[in-house]
């Protein structure tokens, strides 16, 4: 091998090592890259992407279950810089890993529109039409509950009993007698 070939391979090898090192530093140390997450979306108020189960699939998570609520999922997309995502349990309600902060750089929440539905190859929902087809059910205050099977009912019944018992107690007086009261 001549001298020019040795110099070429040394320089080429060093460039590869430097590029691998910079990439490792950007991704593993600085965590400077964008991730795309699918998060729950409220079909009553937002234009959501619609995911439908695949009736021909046998893969868990893609196959239909027969339950309409599990077979259709309304979602939106969040693109966020990994370095700004807090380290917490995503199942914890206080975890804000899939929520863009106010004026947060490199964070974008994407809802369904004509352009994005083509990119995602899915359909969009219309909140107005969805609300008409699926009216929000109000809880009936006069509904009868079974304390043996419904914990919330048991808790409410206990609170009602405590309120009734406490209302029978005499209210403490302040020590100042009411002058208009008969003596």
Contact 79, 108 (CB under 8 A): yes
Residue 78, Cβ neighbours under 10 Å: how many? 19
Could you tell me which residue, 14 or 171, shows the higher pLDDT? 14
For range 156-181, the mean pLDDT? 44
Residue 16, Cβ neighbours under 10 Å: how many? 10
The model's pLDDT over 62-104, given as tens digits with 9 standing for 90+, comes to: 888 888 778 889 999 999 999 888 888 878 888 888 888 888 8
pTM for the full predicted model: 0.61
The model's pLDDT over 107-144, given as tens digits with 9 standing for 90+, comes to: 999 999 999 989 989 999 999 999 998 888 766 555 55
Q: Is the pLDDT of residue 150 over 50?
A: yes
Range of weakest confidence among 36-45, 77-86, 103-112, 151-160: 151-160
Instruction: Give residue 174's pLDDT.
Output: 41
Taking the C-alpha atoms of residue 34 and residue 78, their distance in angstroms, rounded to an integer, is: 10
- Nearest residue to 41 (alpha-carbon basis) of 68, 78, 70: 78
Q: Is the pLDDT of residue 160 over 60?
A: no
Taking the C-alpha atoms of residue 168 and residue 183, their distance in angstroms, rounded to an integer, is: 24
pLDDT band of 145, cuts 50, 70, 90: low
Range of weakest confidence among 18-22, 49-53, 157-161: 157-161
Taking the C-alpha atoms of residue 54 and residue 73, their distance in angstroms, rounded to an integer, is: 12
Three-state SS sequence of the chain:
CCHHHHHHHHHHHHHHHHHHHHHHHHHHHCCCCEEEEEEECCCCCCCCEEEECECCCCCCCCECCCCHHHHEEEEEEEEEEHHHCCCCCCCCCCCCCCCCCCCCCCEEEECCCHHHHHHHCCEECCHHHHHHHCCCCCCCCCCCCCCCCCHHHHHHHHHHHHHHHHHHCCCCCCCCCCCCCCC
Q: Is the pLDDT of residue 11 over 80?
A: yes
């Amino acid at each position: 091998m001549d001298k020019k070939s040795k110099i070429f391979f040394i320089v080429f090898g060093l460039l590869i090592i430097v590029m691998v090192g910079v990439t490792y530093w950007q991704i593993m140390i600085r965590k400077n890259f964008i991730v795309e997450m699918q998060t729950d979306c409220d079909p009553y108020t937002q234009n959501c992407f619609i995911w439908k189960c695949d009736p021909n699939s046998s893969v868990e998570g893609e196959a239909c279950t027969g339950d309409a609520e599990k077979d259709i999922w309304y979602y939106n997309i969040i693109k966020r810089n990994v370095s700004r995502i807090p380290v917490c349990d995503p199942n914890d309600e206080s975890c804000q890993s899939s929520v863009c902060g106010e004026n947060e750089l490199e964070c974008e929440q994407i809802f369904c529109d004509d352009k994005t539905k083509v990119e995602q190859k899915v359909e969009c929902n219309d909140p107005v039409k969805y609300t008409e087809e699926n009216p929000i059910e109000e809880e009936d205050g006069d509904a009868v509950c079974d304390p043996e099977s419904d914990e919330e009912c048991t808790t409410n019944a206990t609170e009602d009993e405590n309120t009734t018992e406490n209302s029978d107690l005499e209210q403490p007086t302040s020590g100042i007698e009411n002058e208009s009261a008969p003596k």
